[in-house]
């Protein structure tokens, strides 16, 4: 189960937010074997002074609509899968009107016992 956090500009219209979250979910399903129904997204909107992203690091020109996407999921994806995820997300987001340059993605991996889906149980932990 990936847990995804989107940090976005307050000025981004709701339909563009939906397109961005849809693009990432589709990319996760297609490249990282995430089940279609496994969607847990948290969207946080920020005022202009709430996202302080370097405008050009590392030689990538970002606009005021730049977004930060953090994906936390269980370890096990290959480097090739991660590269495919970044590419597919950028392709889908661009098709929906977002600039590829404005997509900063950070992946964080953990292990099965690090998840509880409710009821105070680590559902993926070996007994």
Examine the pLDDT at 60 and tell me if it is beyond 90: yes
Examine the pLDDT at 1 and tell me if it is beyond 90: no
Examine the pLDDT at 7 and tell me if it is beyond 90: yes
Choice among 2, 13, 48, 61 that is catalytic: 2
Burial of 104 (0-12, 13-18, 19+ CB in 10 A): middle
Measured between alpha carbons, how far is 80 from 64 in angstroms, rounded to an integer?
30
> For the domain with range 3-114, which CATH number is right: 3.20.20.70, 3.30.429.10, 3.90.76.10, 3.40.640.10?
3.30.429.10
Cβ-Cβ contacts under 8 Å for 40 (sequence gap 6 or more): 1, 2, 3, 4
Measured between alpha carbons, how far is 5 from 68 in angstroms, rounded to an integer?
8
Measured between alpha carbons, how far is 55 from 63 in angstroms, rounded to an integer?
7
How confident is the model over 71-98, as pLDDT tens digits? 999 999 999 999 999 999 999 999 999 9
Q: Check if 2 is active-site.
A: yes
Would you say 40 and 1 are in contact if contact means Cβ atoms under 8 Å apart? yes
For residue 75, the model assigns a pLDDT of 92
Stretch 102-109: mean pLDDT: 97
Residue 68 is inside which H or E element, if any?
Answer: strand 67-74
Examine the pLDDT at 118 and tell me if it is beyond 70: yes
- Global confidence as pTM: 0.91
């Amino acid at each position: 189960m990936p847990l995804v956090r989107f940090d976005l500009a307050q000025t981004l219209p709701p339909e563009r937010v939906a397109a961005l979250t849809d693009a990432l979910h589709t990319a996760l399903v297609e490249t990282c074997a995430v089940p279609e129904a496994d969607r847990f997204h948290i969207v946080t909107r920020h005022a202009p002074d709430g996202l302080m992203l370097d405008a050009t690091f590392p030689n990538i020109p970002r606009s005021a609509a730049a977004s930060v996407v953090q994906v936390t999921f269980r370890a096990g994806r290959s480097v090739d899968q991660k590269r495919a995820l970044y590419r597919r997300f950028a392709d889908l987001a661009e098709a929906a009107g977002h600039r590829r340059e404005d997509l900063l993605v950070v992946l964080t991996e953990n292990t099965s016992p690090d998840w509880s889906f409710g009821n105070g149980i680590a559902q993926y932990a070996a007994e």
